[in-house]
Structure 1
Amino acid sequence: MKVIFITRRWLILFWILLGIALFLLCAIKLKEDRSISAVFGSPITSGIIVIDAGHGGFDPGAVSDSGTREDEINLKIANKLKKYLENEGAKVIMTRESDAALGRTKREDMSKRVEIIKNSDADIVVSIHLNKFPQSKYYGAQTFYMAGSEEGQKLAQCIQSRLIDVLNRGNTRQIKAVNDLLILKAGQAPSVVVECGFLSNPQEEKLLKDDGYQEQVAWAIYCGIVDYFAQQ
């Protein structure tokens, strides 16, 4: 009986010591993970990102039947995206930070946006817009990139995937290559235009005017940007 008692005691002690060892290993691993995060940070830390809030000032962009202006919502989403990116250590350059155009004419405005992008040394460029069709049935965010740009395509896909996951999994819109958008030709960095939804769709217009939904749009774009940088 004495031998059995000693065996059980050592067995209990063994399991106690094993539990302590596992606890210490987990604690060390957690500390290492936090140290790695502190050293290397987010994938976008120190990245340079240009955010272009489309239109502004004399140029309202698309205007819904109820009078909702695209340029105002573009800027709100852009500012929210800026906040998310800067919180992770990215350097953000805005083409505009107020409801004003960059020039007296559309040509002058676009010329100055292009100049900002060319002088930015940006890693990526994201231009925020809203869509509008004559018909009201169309809905859903969609991301465009410059035809022939492999990195632009990757960035567009990362953002589009997040837009669908975060905003509407019923959205079947896919990324699309274009070659007629000046903002995508402005610099050497991968560039995308994000059409965040349709002002011509009454339900989506209502969402786009909502501050909470604008946060979701900005968050989805931010997550897509992080995904892209994580692949680099």
Structure 2
Amino acid sequence: MEGTPHKTLKAFAWALVAGLLVFSGWPMARALAEGGGRAEVQAVRYSRGPRYARIVVELSRQVEFQVRELPADPKAGRSPRIFVDLTPAVRGPNVPAQIEGSGKLITRLRVGQFKPETARMVVDLKERTSYRTITLHDPFRIVLDVEIEKSAAAPAAAGEADESGSEDDPIAGILGGLVPKPRAPKAAPKPQSKPLIVIDAGHGGKDPGAVSKRKNYEKDIVLPVARKLAHLLKREGHRVMLTRDQDVFLELSERTQKANEIIADAGLFVSVHVNASPNSKAHGIETYYWNVKVDQSKASTIARENFTNLESVFKQSSGDLAAILSDLKYKDKERQSAALAGHLQRNMISSVSGKWKGVRDIGVQHGPLYVLALTNMPAALVELGFITNATEEKRLFSAAYQQRLAEGLKTGIEAYLKETGR
């Protein structure tokens, strides 16, 4: 979004994972929350794929948290565990003390009160994993991603002992840190198999996305374009997956999970959106790739696509984040994503500017967009135009214009794949 000053962006950082657990009843937790100003753990959500699991912990407000890992102890019959400490916080009445896991990764999740001011979650694992965490805002959430490691240890024996949460807990001796463990290398796709192209139609269902003065919705533009793009790519023999092909709502975490579940052969991720501005004259096409640094003039676009407000957009508060991203090989992903974004932008502009006059090339931008940060492959987010501009709104709802945009995106994707030898 253009032309308006913006507030300072909020913090975004990776962290290590962890914590230990004891059980206590929710009535005491509610009393503590009401009487001592402690945050309440309001929900714990768990989803999984064949090699991937995501846990989202939602709280009533922002809290400090520590994350640590305890390795397997075969002699004691204990599997690997991941622990998360939340301070000051208590488990809310709607959060079960135990959630059964499923799949190859997680045996169960347990949530309880370690100390009067500290809630604790433990994730019992079936084998060694790689993992990372990220925080989101409005509401405050801690997202824990867990993935199978290639060098995984054998799964723990059945019947592992419960954790007491006592003060001499062995986890206390393990030092925390700011940098998560490097993720294990992923298997390369089979040479004869084309890389999978993941197309993400933004928003959907209860989330309309950007809304025009005429009460037209972003979600009603991006899904047809995504479908047209998928059809064009499939016609050329490409393998394609849509994160959604109906008017349904998906959490941002669900979108990235769908892509990351098939990371072994996923080639790239393209998220399709349209823009908005309080300035009805604002118009043009732009494409984003991941970078922690933010152009303040783009803050509201980034906030909107992250489903949050300006105060909740990620901010690089120190040099630590850049080092972390470097350690996680995000620099290489950033380079590839920038190349992808460039191909998409150039070919969208080329595809529509010959027939429609006044198409503005805003160019390639960067910022800390959630779907770009948490995808494990080159990723770009395209803004097809401004729904708040009357001329572009009319074009964006035109089937012919949508088709030309899809053709430009298809050409851009193929140019990127050719350039990278995929």
TM, length-normalised to structure 2 = 0.42
1:142 aligns with 286
Within-5 A mapping of 1:155-174: 155-168=340-353, 170-174=359-363
TM, length-normalised to structure 1 = 0.75
- Which secondary structure does the structure 2 equivalent of 1:173 belong to? strand
Are residue 123 (structure 1) and residue 267 (structure 2) matched? yes
- Deviation, 1:171, is 2.1
Compute the RMSD of aligned alpha carbons: 1.3
2:389 aligns with 201
Stretch moving more, 204-213 or 139-148: 139-148
- Which secondary structure does the structure 2 equivalent of 1:120 belong to? coil
- CA contact 1:145–1:156 (8 Å) conserved in 2: yes
Q: Report Cα offsets for 1:28-84 as digits up to 9, x if no partner.
A: xxxxxxxxxxxxxxxxx8221000000000000001000111011110000000001
Q: Report Cα offsets for 1:161-206 as digits up to 9, x if no partner.
A: 1111112275231101112x11001222100000000001100000
2:243 aligns with 95
- CA contact 1:166–1:216 (8 Å) conserved in 2: yes
- CA contact 1:184–1:193 (8 Å) conserved in 2: yes
In the alignment, which of 389, 409, 413 is matched to residue 225 of structure 1? 413
Distance in structure 2 (CA, Å) of the matches to 1:73 and 1:92: 20
Paired residue type of 1:115: Q
1:211 aligns with 399
Distance in structure 2 (CA, Å) of the matches to 1:172 and 1:159: 12
Write 1 or 2 for the structure with the bigger share of helix: 1
- Which secondary structure does the structure 2 equivalent of 1:195 belong to? strand
- Which secondary structure does the structure 2 equivalent of 1:174 belong to? strand
Q: Return the structure number with greater relative CO, CA threshold 8 A, min gap 6.
A: 1
- Which secondary structure does the structure 1 equivalent of 2:363 belong to? coil
- CA contact 2:285–2:361 (8 Å) conserved in 1: no
Distance in structure 1 (CA, Å) of the matches to 2:361 and 2:244: 31
In the alignment, which of 276, 283, 286 is matched to residue 132 of structure 1? 276
Distance in structure 2 (CA, Å) of the matches to 1:115 and 1:127: 14
Are residue 46 (structure 1) and residue 188 (structure 2) matched? no
Write 1 or 2 for the structure with the bigger share of strand: 2
- CA contact 1:184–1:191 (8 Å) conserved in 2: yes
Unaligned 5+ segments in structure 1 are 1-44, 103-108
Matched pairs, number: 181
Distance in structure 1 (CA, Å) of the matches to 2:412 and 2:385: 17
Q: State percent identity of aligned pairs.
A: 35
Which aligned runs of 4 or more in structure 1 are off by greater than 6 angstroms? none
2:226 aligns with 78
Paired residue type of 1:172: D
Paired residue type of 2:225: I
- Which secondary structure does the structure 2 equivalent of 1:230 belong to? helix
- CA contact 2:340–2:413 (8 Å) conserved in 1: yes
